[in-house]
Structure 1
Amino acid sequence: MRRADTILLGQVLTLDDAGTRAQALAIGNGRVLATGSREAMLALRGPGTEVRDFPGCAIIPGFNDAHAHMDSIGTRLIRPTLEGAHGIPEILARIRSLAQRTPPGQWIVTMPAGQPPYYFDAPSTLREGRLPNRYELDSVAPDHPVYIPSPSGYWGQPPCHAAMNSLGLALNGVGRGTVPATPATIIEKDADGEPLGLFTELGFVNTLEPDLLPAVPRFSYEQRREGIVRAMDLYHRAGITSIYEGHGSAPEVIAAYRDMWERGELTMRTAMTVSPRWRSLEEAAAAMRDWAPLLRGRGVGDAVFRVSGVFLAHGGDPCVQAIQRRELDYMGWSGYVQQANSTEEFETLCMLAGQYDLRVHTVVSDKLSQIVPVMERLAGRFPIGERRWVLEHISRSTPDELAALRRLGVGTTLIPGQYLWKHGRPFLSIDPQAMDYVSPARQLFELGVPVAAGTDSVPYDPLFCMWAMATRRERTTGRVMGPGGIASNEVALRLVTRGGAWLTFEEGEKGQLVAGHHADLAVLSGDPLATPAEALRDLRCLATMVGGRWVYAEG
């Protein structure tokens, strides 16, 4: 056996089928050479071998975030923050400071008001119970258009709130006669019918900007690339070594990742899916025909960067889609293109994808009962299981539907932090047995359905994701969302590490610390299999390695 480049000493959780533990790990040429006792691994030491000891820590396979939205987190770091402002005077002081160092006429666009990272109910976090209106913003920045955007409902929780000054309203043509294209957007007005510069969004999708505010600056390509650079560091600090963007990514986002890959700057193993911009079934058929040679099967790329398949939405609001189609380049913080398809349109698009041998990824949410029959009809014509079609974001389910997924052989992803913690409240009123099958990690794993879990960046912490699966505690009440669905720590850990490898045909390459696999790993402050479930989110990542290279080390 060759000499090791790196030897790590500590408690090694290999996550192989037998659940093997080891005392040390040897790495060479970016891959795992062997695991075993300290003595056996140290015997592989050469004159240039790096030896690191992590007493009391756990060395695990790197986290694989199966629904990451990493670029989205990055763009949230670019604009000036209002964090820590608990009243209108503090917000105005921030705006005044920005105006003093911004050339007159240029836009001032900040982060949302409220408290990050979610900005829940922003008005309640301010002493006045509201955001500053146009006149208050005018008082500190009369020569600059000013916009305080809302977070999307997916990022935060509807209703979401935004504010704009008078110059901003004028540049966007918003006046007393302005009527939003969707009833989900509310323009607050004074007694005379004049807009106050305050907006409320009641829906989950941000439509305010593409509908009413075309003059607000959009993120540039350079900003999206900068966002990826910033977010990649944050995700590595969380122990994440691979991400999977199955929800689809717009062309500019894919291009930014590819640019980093070509320059050798991409340290996160990144798998992406196309978020299409077609306007009709005819355009969809032509696009799939032309994409098929590149995106079929495993797609194009290598072990660091890969693009394959297409994201197709099921459901959605046609009004939202109509707004988005006015400006197909608009993505806001999301990084993908909004779609709305009826069940019939969804099935037609899936049939086209099957015809052109393209993998399909779709967000299921609580519509598994509508999607399973479609998948069964598709399976009668195309080998969708062999092609590894993926049903993502599953919330509600039934035993019969999960059994059907097993028969179909399709893959699944779950977002436990979203449905069990952040947006779990709507499920608290359903039948207790049905609640066991909300975000059914334990059931899918026990059935043998390929299943992985992702953070959806709410928050971007796989340990929090594990905590959500192992405790199932709803955010506002602390109630357990179905004790029958509680996953063991081991199941939860496998879903945020090994599970994601199946999505990219890489289960023989990563996800375990066994000989021949990529040396992708995270060093945790404690053993996630021995830590009480309630304390999982208190563990820390101390170091992260990708392909035998350290990409993060605490201190």
Structure 2
Amino acid sequence: MTHRGGTADCILLGDVLPLDAANSQADAVAIADGRILFASRRDDVMQLRGNSTRIHDFGASTIIPGFNDTHAHSDSLGLKTIRPSLQGARSIKDVLDRIRALVAGTPQGEWVVTMPIGEPPYYWEADKSLAEGRLPDRHDLDSVAPDHPVYITSPSGFWGEPPCFMILNSLGLKLNGIDRTTKPRVDGVEILLDASGEPTGIIVERNYMRMAEPDLLPATPRFRLEDRIEGLRRSLPMYHEKGTTSVYEGHGCAPDVVASFRELWERKELSLRSGLVLSPAWLGTSEAEYAMRHWMPWARGQGFGDEMLKISGVFVGYGGNLQFNDLLRKNMGDIGWGGGLPNVNSPADYEEICMLAAKYDLRLHTLASDKLHEVVPILERVARHYPIGQRRWVIEHISKASPRDLQAIKAMGVAVTLIPAHYLWKVARPFADLDEQQLDLLSPAKALVELGVPVSAATDAVPNDPLFCMWTMIARKDRRTGRVMGPGGSVSNETALRLLTVNGSWLTFEEDRKGPLLPGYYADLAVLSGNPLTATTEGLLDISCTATMVGGRWVYGAPS
């Protein structure tokens, strides 16, 4: 490794893992003007010391390239702190005490809205989490809030696992027009009734996609743009304390989310390098072509932006519940906790939109989940006409896969981002009946790396800890049973770490300046309490981030 020369602004001492192609070893790294000068042996690096160079000795700690979370939902984590929490409530009485206190500080007639019942971040089995073995109903809530509409929100199925529950008091039901005759217009939603046929105030959501609220609750408060800006501001330190220096939101970002990032970027508050993909507010292929042709030229090709905020391409969803399109027509901006507009398309519409995206040079991102076998043939047909691999199209959120589909991905040259914790740990149950060979290809990091496919891994904010995600890729343990979900799919510590750090720069066309700790690259790094390459699988869970730097500036745990 050859250094750039010059004098260092600061020199960091510790166990340095540059994660370059040569797997270099180092025990010091020099930084100047927000870039890496040199990472090598301490004696060599110290030659770059000047009179004003700051020396930070991290002892036995390990210094690695900053984590690049390539499906982070970085806007939503802080958003979850905007509303009052019910965390720690163990009984209906505890819940009511919290509601009573909120009512006391809220003008009569105004909404009282809280976070869900259960323990964050997942809110597993909220209906069984309280001492009484049931959820509070509208009568319980009426007893402490007769003159305020109350709404206890539901977590998205993507946070935890359906069924999820939302609860309203009598005034809340009335303001939303819900009575004994009300019927949901979408599948997977149920209004619970009591013995006399009246609503109990509890609404059950069995969909992963949030559908009950836009269908049944037009009067409940929604997040404002100001909430989303503040939520993103609160999210930044939550990611930095995990060692994350970059995020890539390939799931698509709705207009208000893009506006939130732009606002913090303009104020120079955006300390997390952010790559965004657009989540389109269109319905149907004719609207899609109009938007691509007239409104999205700046998002074509490599996109537009600077070293802190880049926008490129468009997210297009495959399949899904087509009923959601009817809900979208009512309020295109109603995205709830999500960062993007749910994008629901029939296979035929999906293929047509893919062809349009290719025609207008908009790099496409798509979420495959368990439909990879349906998505791949469509993309292959697009690839016969357009160089989608050269344009760096991306398939995200792959669960199960076949060797044929993975070979096709390699042949097309498209990239993949994986969400290992979602399929291997959080919701492994639907895949329990797959045979061992199929399980080895569940969230198939190892197979993709061996094929040479550009692949990265991401947390999906479940949780937002890359070291936990790293553990998931190696251990592959179902949280319920402890079963190893395909031991043949386990990757090495090094592979897992690369997928979570240096590999993601390919998605933002920054592989020549972001990722490994090489001369001239961004000085984005994390200081860890232990070495993730030598840690045992379970030992990874004991490692924590103690400091994080972005562009040569400490954003978390700044040393004195």
Matched residues in 2 for 1:298 and 1:130: separation? 52
Q: Answer yes or no: is the 8 Å Cα contact 2:116–2:152 preserved in 1.
A: yes
- The corresponding residue for 1:402 is 406
Q: Which runs of 4+ in 1 moved over 3 A?
A: none
The secondary structure found in structure 2 opposite 1:48 is coil
- The corresponding residue for 2:367 is 363
How far does residue 180 in structure 1 lie from its aligned partner after superposition?
0.5
How far does residue 128 in structure 1 lie from its aligned partner after superposition?
1.4
Q: Answer yes or no: is the 8 Å Cα contact 2:283–2:325 preserved in 1.
A: no
Q: 5 Å matches for 1:80-119? A: 80-119=84-123
- Letter aligned with residue 466 of structure 1: M
- The corresponding residue for 2:253 is 249
Q: 5 Å matches for 1:53-452? A: 53-452=57-456
Q: Answer yes or no: is the 8 Å Cα contact 1:292–1:357 preserved in 2.
A: no
Q: For residues 42-73 of structure 1, what are the alpha-carbon distances to aligned partners after superposition, in whole Å with 9 as ceiling and x for unaligned?
A: 22111221110111111000000010001111
1:498 is aligned, of 497, 502, 516, to: 502
The secondary structure found in structure 2 opposite 1:47 is coil
Matched residues in 1 for 2:298 and 2:86: separation? 44
TM-score, normalized by length of structure 2? Answer: 0.98
Q: Answer yes or no: is the 8 Å Cα contact 1:181–1:323 preserved in 2.
A: no
Q: 5 Å matches for 1:538-549? A: 538-549=542-553
How far does residue 36 in structure 1 lie from its aligned partner after superposition?
1.2
- Letter aligned with residue 166 of structure 1: S
The secondary structure found in structure 2 opposite 1:4 is coil
Per mean C-alpha deviation after superposition, the further-off stretch among 447-456 and 364-373 is: 364-373
Q: For residues 148-193 of structure 1, what are the alpha-carbon distances to aligned partners after superposition, in whole Å with 9 as ceiling and x for unaligned?
A: 0111111110011111101111111111111011231111111221
Per mean C-alpha deviation after superposition, the further-off stretch among 285-294 and 504-513 is: 285-294
Q: Answer yes or no: is the 8 Å Cα contact 2:523–2:552 preserved in 1.
A: yes
How far does residue 292 in structure 1 lie from its aligned partner after superposition?
4.1
Q: Which runs of 5+ in 1 are unaligned?
A: none
TM-score, normalized by length of structure 1? Answer: 0.99
How far does residue 139 in structure 1 lie from its aligned partner after superposition?
0.7
The secondary structure found in structure 2 opposite 1:43 is helix
Q: Which runs of 5+ in 2 are unaligned?
A: none
The secondary structure found in structure 2 opposite 1:86 is coil
Matched residues in 1 for 2:223 and 2:557: separation? 31
- Letter aligned with residue 242 of structure 1: S
1:509 is aligned, of 513, 521, 531, to: 513
Matched residues in 2 for 1:208 and 1:543: separation? 41
The secondary structure found in structure 2 opposite 1:494 is helix
Matched residues in 1 for 2:558 and 2:450: separation? 36
- The corresponding residue for 2:14 is 10
Confirm or deny that 1:47 pairs with 2:51. yes
How far does residue 21 in structure 1 lie from its aligned partner after superposition?
1.2
The secondary structure found in structure 1 opposite 2:51 is strand
Matched residues in 1 for 2:510 and 2:190: separation? 47
CA-based RMSD of the aligned residues comes to 1.0
Q: Answer yes or no: is the 8 Å Cα contact 2:322–2:346 preserved in 1.
A: no
After superposition, the Cα gap between the structure-2 partners of 1:317 and 1:132, relative to the gap in structure 1 and judged at 3 Å, is same
The secondary structure found in structure 1 opposite 2:479 is coil
How far does residue 554 in structure 1 lie from its aligned partner after superposition?
7.0
How far does residue 325 in structure 1 lie from its aligned partner after superposition?
2.6
Q: For residues 461-500 of structure 1, what are the alpha-carbon distances to aligned partners after superposition, in whole Å with 9 as ceiling and x for unaligned?
A: 0001100001100111000010110010000000001111
The secondary structure found in structure 1 opposite 2:432 is helix
Q: Answer yes or no: is the 8 Å Cα contact 2:284–2:349 preserved in 1.
A: no
Matched residues in 1 for 2:434 and 2:512: separation? 40
Confirm or deny that 1:534 pairs with 2:538. yes
Matched residues in 1 for 2:206 and 2:542: separation? 34
How far does residue 453 in structure 1 lie from its aligned partner after superposition?
0.4
Matched residues in 2 for 1:377 and 1:199: separation? 43
- Letter aligned with residue 240 of structure 1: T
